[in-house]
Structure 1
Amino acid sequence: MPNRPRPPQHMEIPARHRGRRAFAGAGVLLALATALLAGGTAHAAPAAVDRTTERSGADTGPPAAEPRDRTRVTAAVLDLDGTGREPTVYGDDVTYDTASIIKVDILATLLLQAQDAGRHLTAKERAHAEPMIRRSDNAAANALWREIGRAPGLEAANKRLGLTETKGGSGTRWGLTRTTASDQIRLLRAVFATGGTSDASAGGLNKESRTYVRTLMADVASEQAWGVSAAAGSGWALKNGWLQRSTSGLWDVNSVGRIVVDGHRYLVAVLSDGSTSMKDGVALVEGAARAALTSASGQ
């Protein structure tokens, strides 16, 4: 999706950090993301945002434990062609609402359950899975959330996939699942990597399941092709999530996926909350993704 000019934006991005590389890059993330936003390099927000759509199954829970008075963002990056298995995290690796990025996890859980039963997805399951990822369809997510056994089913699958900090939303509230940027990299690794927890012999997704998820994430609707794709060079596959919290009016905006830069495949997760508009949230996520990739790739 081509970049489109946007007006200058100025937003504080807190950049505390973990690990040696994250410590070195946190200041870079802050400076570069701010410069990118001010320079107008981010995509415009999706042309039409239905403010009720992402609320289905999402923002029906109680208020957050404590009010926040500033925007937060965390980015995590893993060079899939490198030797490391843990991502570099820029910002505090704390939990955020997933909004619709949870739909990748819902699909991964469904596929694991089908593998366990020795079967392929049914035509009805595919009819839900494909619009759930490509168009972020909430009715489809509601149906599959029930089918996988809601939060307990999700968490059982995540344990096998190596996620350690993701807690499913209560009842029907899949969009209020809480996760961290590093846990989202673990999920992406289960989809896009080979071996280890992504290998069916280790209890993870088999090759057919991984290919199915990748294919859908590489073919999302054009109006949703924003987010981590802003940092991509020659290719990307992603899932975005956005949610306006009814308790505060502020926006959760997230993006996760695999991008290709200079022939290297990177897994990228950017989570944010507290933006005053969808537009600002998209700009924040894209600026953070670009800055994190600049730091991680040594450009």
Structure 2
Amino acid sequence: MAIRSVSRARVLVPVGLLVAAGAVAAALQGQSGGVESRSQMSVVADTTSSAPPVVTPATAAPTPTATPTAVPAPAATAGAAAAALHSAVDRAEGAVSVAVTDLDTGQSLSYGGPGHDFATASIVKLDILAALLLRTQDLGTTPTAAQRDLATTMIENSDNDSATGLWDEIGADPGLDAANARFGLTATEAGQDGYWGLTSTTADDQLRLLRQVFTDESLLSATSRAYIQGLLDEVEEDQRWGVGAAASNGGYEVKNGWLPRDTDGLWVINSIGRVERDGHQLLIAVVSDGNSTDTDGMDLVESVARAAAEAVTGS
């Protein structure tokens, strides 16, 4: 993979489940010790012990085209999904967290990285764009041609200079924090002194941001959401890794983040987006840090995304 625009941003990543949720949660709870030990190896030490994944309905009711019928999966299937997810998370060299929501069934899962704050790296560029569009909506305007040009290169090419330009347009860190408070993000803090890539976040918060982009339970207008989705769908080919690995038919929109930390050279690797899997629309956020190489981090993120998607959908 050609690494582009890595001079300022940094990166990292959460999990979710569907039917027979109790069986999967119980199976993972019995294996949580390994996850905790891996989490404590991260660049920023965890202070909270690892907790079993919590599978819950979505906070707001989904709007499927037909009423879904939940057929409990066999315990063996749930156990296999739990084992696969645990195995994927446990192989992390540092910390990893995943959060997933199935927009068709309303089932959600969050797993890994308890008490850990992850640097966003370039996934914050999606947040910057959402904040910009919210700002223009408040003003009763639309993005200027210059802002749209910056947004295109920021999202499709992950260009850092474009991100800095729009960071200034939204009012820098106070502007991002204000927008995120309105979006319902509770554990994200904007980077200081222009270091937008050092914004700290969690997988759960990134899932909340994705809901603002991909559902109508959002402060963003339908036009704003469609605009963002169109840019995510055109991310350049060498950046189309990450959560898209969970898609069953190649359909996904993604924004990734990657960067070695200056202090130790270990990599932050994150991926967020929407994927289509066996007729389900999934929102997935995976954040990670402490990876020895960028390739190792990308492999980790993709394996965790696949395992989490299987746990949520049962397929």
TM-score by length of 2: 0.74
Partner of 1:256: 272
Structure 2, unaligned stretches of length 5 or more? 2-33, 40-49, 57-77
1:28 Cα offset (Å): 3.5
Taking every aligned residue pair, what percent have the same amino acid on both sides?
Answer: 47
Indicate the residue corresponding to 1:59 in structure 2: none
Shift of 1:292: 0.8
Match for residue 76 of structure 1?
Answer: 99
The one of 92, 99, 122 equivalent to 2:121 is 99
TM-align CA RMSD: 2.3
The match for 1:21 is 55
SS in 2 for 1:187: helix
Q: 1:184 and 1:266, CA in 2 relative to 1: closer, same or farther beyond 3 A?
A: same
Offset at 1:70? Answer: 4.2
Give the Å deviation of 1:26: 5.7
Count of residues in Structure 1 that have an aligned counterpart in Structure 2: 247
- What residue number does 1:30 align with? 86
SS of residue paired to 1:283 = helix
Deviates more, 1:153-162 or 1:250-259: 153-162
Q: Which residue of 2 aligns with 1:43?
A: none
> 1:156-179: CA deviations, max 9, x gaps?
111111111100000110000000
- Paired AA for residue 263 in structure 2: T
Q: Distance in 2 between matches of 1:74 and 1:166?
A: 15
Cα distance in 2, alignment partners of residues 18 and 151 from structure 1:
33
AA aligned opposite 2:281: R
Give matches, 1:261-272, under 5 Å: 261-272=277-288
- What SS is found at the alignment partner of 1:170? coil
Give the partner amino acid of 1:91.
G
Among 171, 182, 189, the alignment partner of 1:160 is 182
**1:17–1:89 contact (8 Å) kept in structure 2:** no
List, as ranges, runs of 4+ consecutive aligned residues in structure 1 with deviation greater than 4 Å: 22-27
Please, which of 307, 310, 313 is the counterpart of residue 291 of structure 1? 307
Q: Which moved more, 1:154-163 or 1:89-98?
A: 89-98
TM-score by length of 1: 0.78
Question: What is the CA deviation profile of residues 127-155 of structure 1, one whole-angstrom value per residue up to 9, with x for unaligned ones?
Answer: 10011000100000011111111111001
Distance 1:33 1:83, change over 3 A: closer
Residue 280 (structure 1) aligned to one of 278, 296, 302: 296
Counterparts of 1:172-187 in structure 2, within 5 Å, are 172-187=194-209
| Alpha-carbon distance in structure 2 between the residues aligned to 1:244 and 1:264 | 34
- Corresponding residue for 1:213? 228
Confirm or deny: 8 A CA contact 1:228 1:259 kept in the other structure: yes
Per-residue deviation at 1:285?
A: 0.5
What SS is found at the alignment partner of 1:273? strand
Q: Secondary structure at the match of 2:133?
A: helix
Whether the 8 Å CA contact 2:257–2:270 is kept in 1: the answer is: yes
Say if 1:26 and 1:91, in contact at 8 Å, map to a contact too: no
Question: Alpha-carbon deviation of 1:18?
Answer: 4.3
Structure 2 CA distance for partners of 1:82 and 1:224, relative to 1, 3 Å: same
